[in-house]
Structure 1
């Protein structure tokens, strides 16, 4: 039995079809935890056991982890909480349930940065790494998917790209760093969940095919969209003020700002690129398939 959290999220919606395709042939049953089952496709509801509720709720994870062999764990960050409460606080009931039900393997969505000089002051990433330690401390076999920023973050900029030809971030225009598609993260997660021959606790970097700077992204988007796109670097103080203006938790906002600062100081550059850590989807392919339809309607 494999339990999937956040099945309707960016990663989960790619992970579920992969597991539905391969798990039955291996004799694996699938169980999902979801707040609103109506958001699941009919085919998913028909072929999985559905547990309704939040996977931050002790009663929900207690039911969901009974008889489970493996869990895919993803925390949906809650900007109304502090980073510590949003990550480790949310995961606390699940950590207890993992032990209580003897779950053997967990694959979690995490971040790059462990072992770098800025890892302890990287805001949301620091909180995510502490979550990894919490899960590993239960004694399960654990693999933390250590991810850089996602291509999909740019979908939040689709309106600005369409209307102004501009996207923003808070890192230097020429700073190259790994970037990855959520589909590639899902593929790595599926492989680990289906082949549980691994033991102990470790991280698994998922780095995308190449390091890219914001200027590189602008050039590629210009080519793929057939219209000029440029990058605008947003000062951290301006980013902080904007986010606070949305009414978000002040500590969570500071966590975002600290994460952005750490990324600009090399947070994502601490892992050597290897063939095993290099996933397949290029930014050009992602732009053509996903960004272009979002920008050009």
Structure 2
């Protein structure tokens, strides 16, 4: 049995589909089972509730060969520890109590960098990795950079104004990958019973791109002018808090971008890129253009 958390999320939903396509037995932990597509719900074992709840994960992880672990977004959290390590503590106890064989977790690129200790969300995510690894369970942390899919959050601005924004310098080239590639890697690891120990798997995407690079590609794919605009840190924070995000989480996001702008992701750029082949152009053609 393979347990998938966040089965309605952008990555978790694709992990579930990969596993079902390959005939694997799947159990999902989901707050609202009604959000599962009907064709998925009828083929999986559903455990309702939050995977941050001790009783829920004790039930969900019983008899599990492997678990796909993701800490869900919590934009109003009082601390970054609450989003990651504190949320994961009940699961860490359940990994040991239920004898879970392997855990594959979605985390962040940055381990090994001198900036990793002051990188906001990335720092907190790496601390969660350490907590999980400390249980002794066989663990693979998927060390992801920025997601191509994050551009979907700005579909309205791209469509209506021809603009997308972030705090990153316009010419700062960074790795980026598609969630569909992350999901494929996760499913492969979840089905592979031959590995043990703890390690991270850098997922870099096939190319490094700047905001200006991405704007040019989007413009070519959509056939309309699109430009990238860098916003100041203050503007970025104000926008997030204005949309209801807690100040501490908003600051964690900004600190992550500042660290990336200063070289956070460079520590593992020597890693193989063969696991994540989807180019940004291909992703734009397949996903962004339709959105």
TM-score, length basis structure 1: 0.95
**Equivalent residues, number:** 290
1:66 aligns with 2:62: yes
1:80 aligns with 2:104: no
Among 28, 34, 53, the alignment partner of 1:32 is 28
Among 175, 178, 182, the alignment partner of 2:179 is 182
Give yes or no for contact 2:206–2:273 (8 Å, CA) kept in 1: no
Looking at structure 2, the residues matched to 101 and 276 of structure 1 have their Cα atoms a distance apart, in angstroms, of 35
Larger CA deviation: 249-258 vs 51-60: 249-258
Query: Where does the alignment leave 5 or more consecutive residues of structure 1 unmatched?
Result: none
Pairing of 1:108-127 with structure 2 (within 5 A): 108-127=105-124
Looking at structure 1, the residues matched to 224 and 136 of structure 2 have their Cα atoms a distance apart, in angstroms, of 52
Q: Which residue of 1 aligns with 2:147?
A: 150
Offset at 1:194? 0.5
Looking at structure 1, the residues matched to 275 and 168 of structure 2 have their Cα atoms a distance apart, in angstroms, of 23
Deviation track 1:254-291 (CA, whole Å, cap 9, x = no partner) reads: 11111111111111121134445551111111111111
Among 209, 234, 243, the alignment partner of 2:231 is 234
Larger CA deviation: 126-135 vs 237-246: 237-246
Give the secondary structure class of the aligned counterpart of 1:270.
helix
Offset at 1:43? 2.1
TM-score, length basis structure 2: 0.97
Looking at structure 1, the residues matched to 34 and 89 of structure 2 have their Cα atoms a distance apart, in angstroms, of 27
1:137 aligns with 2:101: no
Give yes or no for contact 1:205–1:277 (8 Å, CA) kept in 2: no
Query: Where does the alignment leave 5 or more consecutive residues of structure 2 unmatched?
Result: none
Looking at structure 2, the residues matched to 38 and 273 of structure 1 have their Cα atoms a distance apart, in angstroms, of 43
1:280 aligns with 2:277: yes
Deviation track 1:3-55 (CA, whole Å, cap 9, x = no partner) reads: 00000100012111110011x3xxx4211001111111222222211000111
Give the secondary structure class of the aligned counterpart of 2:237.
helix
1:194 aligns with 2:191: yes
Deviation track 1:129-158 (CA, whole Å, cap 9, x = no partner) reads: 000001000000000000000011111111
Deviation track 1:68-89 (CA, whole Å, cap 9, x = no partner) reads: 1110001112011111111111
Give yes or no for contact 2:204–2:273 (8 Å, CA) kept in 1: no
Q: CA RMSD in A?
A: 1.1
Q: Which residue of 1 aligns with 2:41?
A: 45
Looking at structure 2, the residues matched to 19 and 184 of structure 1 have their Cα atoms a distance apart, in angstroms, of 14
Looking at structure 2, the residues matched to 272 and 164 of structure 1 have their Cα atoms a distance apart, in angstroms, of 34
Q: Which residue of 2 aligns with 1:245?
A: 242
Q: Which residue of 2 aligns with 1:4?
A: 4
Looking at structure 2, the residues matched to 273 and 13 of structure 1 have their Cα atoms a distance apart, in angstroms, of 30
Give the secondary structure class of the aligned counterpart of 1:47.
coil
Give yes or no for contact 2:185–2:275 (8 Å, CA) kept in 1: no
Give yes or no for contact 2:202–2:271 (8 Å, CA) kept in 1: no
Larger CA deviation: 146-155 vs 42-51: 42-51
Give the secondary structure class of the aligned counterpart of 2:269.
coil
Looking at structure 1, the residues matched to 103 and 76 of structure 2 have their Cα atoms a distance apart, in angstroms, of 27
Compared with structure 1, are the counterparts of its residues 277 and 137 closer, same or farther at alpha carbon in structure 2 (3 Å cutoff)? Answer: farther
Give yes or no for contact 1:204–1:277 (8 Å, CA) kept in 2: no
Give yes or no for contact 1:58–1:93 (8 Å, CA) kept in 2: yes
